[in-house]
Amino acid sequence: MTTAHAEITDEAIAELRKRIGVVWRPRVPYYNEAATKDAIRHYCYGIGDANPLFLDLDYAQETKHGSIIAPPCFLYSVYWPAEGRGMPGVHAWHSGDDWSFYKTIRMGDEITYTNTMTDVIEKPSQMAGRILIQHHDIVYTNKKTGEVMAKADDWSVRAGRQASQEKGKYAGIKRAAYTPEQMKKIQEDYASEEIRGANTRYWEDVNEGDAMGHLVKGPLSMRDMIAWLMGAGSPFMKAHGLAYSFYQRHPGAAMLDTQTGILDVPELVHMEDTRAQEIGIPGAYDYGCQRLSWLGNLLTNWQSDLGFLKRFRGELRRFNVIGDTQWIKGKVARKCVENGEHLVDCEVWAENQRGELTAPGTATIVLPTRGT
């Protein structure tokens, strides 16, 4: 098992680049293999999505879909397009995804995937001195029909843990604290969230510059992290002997907490402050695909039951540590007709209680037209 943190070297980069173009297929399930009623519900609970189209069978049967469907970002529970494959002992930070969605995910669909590394780019950084941007192309396929459901271009930042700790770029992040008045405002924002649902949003009724409402997610707590894992899973989260067996098969996956001497999975940067401090972050923080799912939550709330999310790109710019609150917002940037589809291009983003932009994104939504 790995007992020390690794750093980026020329030799490690050369070895990593040998993986470019190699198609990796799952040998065991990542988490969900099928979009069952329960799996969809657990995922929605994990991101705080109350849309009845995803949760209420009686409601969904009355829509054009005829049954429950899954939100597009449910595919994160099939496989996170976030893993920094290769280069054991060098940390990977999920930094963004560019999704193309082709098919609605219906209850009962069985889904598989492939992962192909497409590029490795070296860059200088204030965070760790020497970093890599590692790109992967993930393809999700319906097992029964062979149809491609979606594709995601994922990129992760790879950096040495010790170098990140020594640079201390994020050492100034302070834990959030709230007054009763601020907590009341957050609760009011939760109460004012809108799910468009059966109130169809038509393309003709949308104007460039329209605000898309908001969601609030936070203050981030360990409950939120556990709920996310219950919904979206993790290949690292195995108990007791199963975990140590995983280390033996994947010796580079283990991460040492130098303050406690405990060897465990790097996933614990999301749950233990000391583990996060090993990589230069002052406290535990959220999962990247968790926050991107929140942006997806706003988009599906806004588009109504008859909309279809065609494209979604999100970037992760800043850390969201325990105690932080994110407001998810959006606006209509453009509307057009292309290849017979009535499209709305949107800008979406997450901003925290400090007023910092933490996750900007863009999306394209297909909307119905009146009379169709």
Q: Which pLDDT tens digit goes with each residue over 205-248?
A: 999 999 999 999 999 999 999 999 999 998 788 888 888 887 78
Q: What is the pLDDT of residue 371?
A: 78
Q: What is the pLDDT of residue 343?
A: 98
H or E element, residue 59: helix 57-61
Q: What is the pLDDT of residue 89?
A: 77
Q: What angle do CA 46, 52, 55 make, to 5 degrees?
A: 50
Query: Is 219 in a helix, a strand, or coil?
Result: coil
Beta strands in the chain (DSSP E): 23-24, 69-70, 91-101, 105-106, 111-125, 129-142, 148-159, 211-217, 255-257, 262-264, 308-315, 326-338, 341-352, 357-366
Q: What is the pLDDT of residue 126?
A: 65
- Which amino acid, 261? G
All structural domains of the chain, each given as residue ranges with its CATH number in brackets, are 10-366 (3.10.129.10)
Which residues have CB under 8 Å from 368's CB, separation 6+?
Answer: 200, 202, 203, 306, 307, 342
Q: What is the pLDDT of residue 128?
A: 55
| Rounded distance between C-alpha atoms, residue 68 and residue 55, angstroms | 7
Helix, strand, coil in percent for the chain, rounding step 5: 30, 30, 40
| Rounded distance between C-alpha atoms, residue 145 and residue 57, angstroms | 24
Q: Are 91 and 164 in contact (CB under 8 A)?
A: yes
Q: What is the pLDDT of residue 265?
A: 80
Query: Is 97 in a helix, a strand, or coil?
Result: strand
Choose among 328, 326, 299, 331: nearest CA to 312: 299
φ/ψ of 63, rounded to 5, equals -95, 175
Q: What is the pLDDT of residue 82?
A: 63
pLDDT along the chain (372 residues), means of 10: 68 92 89 97 98 98 98 96 72 93 98 95 75 94 98 91 60 89 98 98 98 97 96 88 81 79 85 88 94 98 98 97 98 97 98 97 98 74
Rg (CA), the chain: 21
Buried b (16+ CB within 10 A) or exposed e, 333-346: bebeeeeeebbbbb
- Which amino acid, 134? Q
φ/ψ of 39, rounded to 5, equals -60, -40
Q: Read off the DSSP letter of residue 30.
A: S
Q: Are 328 and 295 in contact (CB under 8 A)?
A: yes
